Structure 1
């Protein structure tokens, strides 16, 4: 793994949760409130708890075993498992999980996409 990828991996691991929540809630103001966030880049697990504006119940989402695969010409993002505490969201996640989703090629972001692919490469 490159020096840059290792540095980004450390930044992700060391990012304080309150900072992630604070920034996310600034972006989501008036739409939703992110109440909990957990992301483990090594085990490829993520958990999010969010309250939509006007809703009383928290929506929870668990995502496991996600990675990027690719070759010289294209990249694909794969989520192996995803579930939620809401039936409608579980149904949506069932259509997304286990499928390869092509990441569009954006020339001005090719360096960043290569870094993401390196960070999230499939594990053996």
Structure 2
């Protein structure tokens, strides 16, 4: 792992949740309110809780085993497990988990993709037990 990716991992770990919530809620103003957020890059887990405006209950999402892989001159996203407290969202997750999804080329992000892939590479997944699933594209 490069020095740059090590620094970024530490910055992610040390960023207070309140700052993440504050910035995200500015961006989601009028749509939703992010009420909780947790991410562990080493364990490849994340939890998100948000309240959609006009809805009575919060939506909770748990993600496990996510990675970005450099594969045949492109990048792919992998999600091993995902669940929520909404049946419709679980049905969507059932269609996408366990597959490698090609990330479209976005010119503004092209220079950052190698670093993102290094941060979220399967080889750096630690104890999460990620493996490379079948291609979907």
TM-score, length of structure 2 as denominator length:
0.86
Distance 1:34 1:108, change over 3 A: closer
Higher relative contact order (CA 8 A, sep 6+): 2
2:42 matches 1:36: no
**Does structure 1 residue 77 correspond to structure 2 residue 77?**
yes
Mark the runs of 5 or more structure 1 residues left unpaired by the alignment: none
2:30 and 2:110 mapped to 1: Cα distance? 33
Alignment pair present for 1:10 and 2:10:
yes
Between 67-76 and 21-30, report the one with greater CA deviation: 67-76
Which residue is 2:47 aligned to? 47
Which stretch shifts more, 10-19 or 106-115? 106-115
CA RMSD of aligned residues (A): 1.2
Residues in 1 aligned to 2:72 and 2:93: alpha-carbon distance in whole angstroms:
29
Alignment match, 1:116? 116
User: Which position in structure 2 is the counterpart of 1:66?
Assistant: 66
Alpha-carbon distance between aligned partners in 2 of 1:72 and 1:109, rounded to the nearest angstrom: 18
3-state DSSP of counterpart to 1:37: strand
Tell me, which stretches of 5 or more residues in structure 2 are unaligned? 130-137
Using the size of structure 1 for normalisation, the TM-score is: 0.95
Match of 1:97 in 2: 97
Superposed structure 1 runs of 4+ greater than 4 Å apart: none
Aligned with 2:110: secondary structure?
helix
CA offset digits 1:63-102 (Å, max 9, x no partner): 0011112235111000000000000011011111111110
